[in-house]
Amino acid sequence: MLYRSTVILALLLAAQIAAADVTITIPDGRQVLLRDNGTWSVVEGSDDAETRTYASLTVERKFELPRGCKYGLRLQNDLSARIRTLVLRFTAYKGDQIPFETVSRGFSYIKPTASQYQEIKFRGIQCDEIKAVEVFAARNCHVGDLTKYSAEAHHCLNLVEVKPSDIVPVTKRKKTD
């Protein structure tokens, strides 16, 4: 009889736990409350710019080409999740904010705390003619639970922090509604 009561009590406790809300941490460091009714929300206070982690993009090198310019980039994964795929787009601006050329570069399979080096080439423009480079995301990323099917372009870009550079002025595109 005692055994049966213990089993029933354990089953009731397990059912209560299974129906409980769950808090998870997403790749950018924010906490999300997943409710047992299928809804979710960002936990208040967890979206703090001081504590949020990012994948940091830096410009490391510049190469003059006969008919173009090449930059060496490093993406440091400071997220808690592996970056399986993250495709970024880069626009070189000439003169007074005239977009000259846009290229894409993919980063892939970067474990947390690791980094990856890639290069981008802008053709038909010399390095000294490039006044700025703007970074924005294509809709192709797979970072933790975030996939190209569940994310909009700004979701992927929110995971990236673009570091200032002495090599070329580089900025991250602001989200447009």
Between CA 135 and CA 169 the distance in angstroms is 11
Please report which confidence band the pLDDT of residue 81 belongs to, taking 50, 70 and 90 as the band edges: confident
Please report which confidence band the pLDDT of residue 7 belongs to, taking 50, 70 and 90 as the band edges: very low
Mean pLDDT of the chain: 80
Least confident of 51-60, 64-73, 113-122, 141-150: 141-150
Model pLDDT, residue 30: 65
Q: Nearest 5°: CA angle at 176, between 173 and 177?
A: 160
H or E element, residue 7: helix 2-18
